[in-house]
Structure 1
Amino acid sequence: MTTRRYWTLILILGTMTALGPFSIDMYLSGYQAIAEDLHTTTARIGLSLASYFIGISAGQLLYGPLLDRFGRKKPLYVGLVIYIIASAGCIGARTLDAFVALRFIQAIGSCAAAVASVAMVRDLFPIKDSAKVFALLMLVVGASPMLAPTIGGYITTAFNWQAIFIVLGGMGLLLMIACFFFLPESHQPDTSMSLKPGPIISGFWAVMREPQFYTYALTGAFAFSGLFVYVSSSPVVFMDIFHVSERHFGWIFAGLSVGFIGSSQLNSLTLRYFRSEQIIRIALVTQAALGIIFFLGTYLGWFGLTGTIIMLFLFLSCLGFANPNASALSIAPFKKNAGTAAALMGALQMGIGGLASTVASLFDVTSAVPMTMLMAATAILSVTALFVGGLRITNPVFLHDGADTAVLH
């Protein structure tokens, strides 16, 4: 593979991975404007975020078998068409219920890109490069929290919140064009794969019962749900409690994303000296300790705006180290059914994250305590899953071994 080809694939796959996060982050700055237009509260608009998380979780289970059965690109096109149509629907939404439902459908569309990108990493790159490739995808994904809220804030101020969804629909269209012309079909259709409920459930169960998969998939999902809590709670915490403006919120959100992006790139350098299993263990224990300190400090009134930003930066930095390694270790044992494994991993991640964000939206927020409490809880659950599940892994597939002959089929 040429260098130009390599980076073209990274850019397209990274953009596919970022479509969902960008759809989440861009409209956060417009919470207040959307609430006013739909005659509801800012906290209630959080339900549209929760519905998006639920949709992207459920949808991934749908696309996993389709990507293995029909190849990667045809289901991807279907998902992107759904995404574009739902984005257009959000523009015309006039009630909270309609907006929440359309965000759910938009998520169903976007998750086709998310599942396909993970499966295609397994298809197109050597297993030993998986963690490095996922870290590079995080660099593209990381542009979302850096750019999306700021762009969304300026769009809302200059035009209206509906313009955000015009931009998102345009992104979906451009991505579909890029995939058509520049993304290869990495998996030939497998006609032996049945789409009947029984075989599909059996396929998911075969993946789920692999100890290496459920250990790292659950570990990554619990860790990542801390990010979901932060994303869903931050508009209220920063704009309602700390009284920052929409534009300033966008810049704060962008600055905090530097921790997540920077650490994910440092992870690639760290992999030269340490194994993924070692990195994820250190990162998650540190994240849990920070989460506990953050919760106790917020409860006791130690942290103002500056202290809150610093603690969030450190917490997200730990996640930047943990996430690429958790993803790579989860799908390492699979090749033929990588689409099913990627879908199940994504569904667990988004499902647990959606549940966490839904719980966060139920609090009558008057301080940052609910956010920090839930972030600490998710970090503790992640460490628990890592150490308890790790006891069941008897035949691990190590990324540094680099041989696909060790991959389970």
Structure 2
Amino acid sequence: MKPAVKHRFLMLGLLGTLSAFGPLSMDLYLPALPVIQHDVNASATLIQMTITMSLLGLAGGQLIIGPLSDHYGRKWPLISGLVLFTLASLGIALSNNIWVILLLRLIQGIGGSAGQVLSRSIARDLFSGHELTRYLSVLMAINGIFPIISPVLGSGILTLTDWNGIFYLLAAIGAILIVLALTILPETLMVDQRTQAIGHAFRGMGELVKTKSFMTYVLTQGLVYGALFSYISGSTFVYQQYYGLSAGVFSIFYAVNGLGIVLITKLTGNLIGKYTEKQLLSVAITIGTLAGGVLLANALTLNNFWIMVVGLWIVVGMVGMVNTTATSLGMQQSGQQAGSASALLGLGMNAIGGIMSPLVGAFGTTSPLPMASLIIAAELAAYLLWTMNKQTA
């Protein structure tokens, strides 16, 4: 029996915000990366490692919090993670040492992982089938708002104060979410639906890893996120240092790409019922791969700014369709292991994204070529994986 939900619209907004800890943790401070690099006297690769550490925390934390939530319920693991996120954000705001920042970014990611993994788990507790896909499309459209507003807000903060102020804001957001979670979020996993022993919860995750169809969704989505984070990690340097845009103008282009995620995610929800999740996933992966190829060809030849802008908009926008359909298909296979399934989906996204992010800096930030090369590599790998396995997924 699905639990009854009060304050449905408020809870939808809360879950959408909780699912957006990736954008909240990264997009808000992207315009400040060159400033942080100067202030802490670190290399571009080390600065991009602040993205990687957050992603590793987001990935690793989900592997713990997901199974724990299958045993203890959703609410208190979520609140514990929010407290950790808030304290780590405050610590970063008070630091100017790159090594301390890297450690706290890892801890911040672990705390933030609770919001990511449990927003999906709570949705699975409440819905199933096409209804779950439609709900996830709304949830992820809310999620997609944050890449639009975050860099604009981040660049605005930089006009008023230094980059530390961005992390004070993240700490404040974490504190607000703690209050909202305590007051309006119900427990959605009833006691009789929980795994009876904590060991069973972790073994259930192992069974999911052995399921080829489930892991196809995990890895396909993860590789598309690898392309997304190649863009996230490289775009601030390409736009600002190679093409000479200011932080404010960069944030506008970044926001437009975020709007693409919102629009494509909303379109996905509207198309469900007319087309299956698998059909939409195939279309999104194919279009993303073609756009990645255009980006690489442009970087090797014309280096035309507007071709790059359009290509990136398509690549980023298709993430919305991949995310909605792959998450729904994966969660529908979870049975009573929704927390574990959500954790593995999150692991794929954040771990592969974390691997790709520093590679942009390692290969160089003085041209669009490293970013474009990594985007097409990830997109092509996702396309090949899905094409070879979609019949059995």
Structure 2 length normalisation: TM-score?
0.95
Q: After TM superposition, give the deviation of residue 111 of structure 1 in Å.
A: 0.3
- Map 1:2-401 onto structure 2 (within 5 A): 5-189=7-191, 192-196=195-199, 199=200, 201-300=202-301, 302-393=302-393
CA drift of 1:138 comes to 1.6
2:71 and 2:201 in contact (8 A); partners too: no
AA in 1 matched with 2:154: G
Number of residue pairs the alignment of both structures matches:
390
Q: 2:271 is matched by which residue type in structure 1?
A: T
**Structure 1 pair 25/17, CA: closer, same or farther in 2 (3 Å)?**
same
Alpha-carbon shift at residue 327 of structure 1 (Å): 0.6
Q: Distance in 2 between matches of 1:339 and 1:191?
A: 10
Post-superposition offset of 1:3:
10
* Paired AA for residue 194 in structure 1: A
Deviation readout 1:368-405 (Å, 9 max, x if unpaired): 01111111011111112212222434xxxxxxxxxxxx
* Structure 1 contact 33–161 (Cα < 8 Å) conserved: yes
Please give the alpha-carbon distance, in whole angstroms, between the structure 1 residues aligned to 2:266 and 2:68. Answer: 32
The Cα shift of 1:4 comes to 7.8
TM-superposition CA deviations, 1:77-101 (whole Å, max 9, x none): 1101111110111012121111111
8 Å contact 2:73–2:194 — kept in the other structure? no
Q: Compute the displacement of 1:7 (Å).
A: 2.1
TM-score (norm 1): 0.91
Identical-residue share of aligned pairs (%): 27
Q: Distance in 2 between the 1:191 and 1:217 partners?
A: 23
Q: State the Cα distance separating 1:191 from its structure 2 match.
A: 6.8
Deviations 1:236-255 (A, max 9, x none): 11111111111111111101
For the residue of structure 1 that corresponds to 2:147, the secondary structure is helix
Q: In the alignment, residue 257 of structure 1 is paired with which amino acid?
A: G
**Does the aligned pair in 1 maintain the 2:62–2:347 contact within 8 Å?**
yes
| Greater shift in the superposed pair: 65-74 or 284-293 | 284-293
Q: What amino acid is aligned across from residue 28 of structure 1 in structure 2?
A: L
Per the alignment, do residues 2 and 81 of structure 1 end up closer, same or farther by CA in structure 2, a change over 3 Å counting? closer
Q: Which amino acid aligns with 1:209?
A: K
- What's the C-alpha RMSD, in Å, of the aligned pairs? 1.8
Q: Is the 8 A contact 2:260 2:314 kept in 1?
A: yes
| Counterpart-to-counterpart distance in 1, 2:29 and 2:339 | 30
Cα displacement (A) at 1:294: 1.4
Gaps of 5+ in 1: 394-409
Residues 38 and 193 of structure 1: CA distance in aligned 2, closer, same or farther (over 3 Å): farther
Distance in 2 (alpha carbons) for counterparts of 1:333 and 1:364:
41
Of residues 114-123 and 219-228 in structure 1, the stretch that sits farther from structure 2 once superposed is 219-228
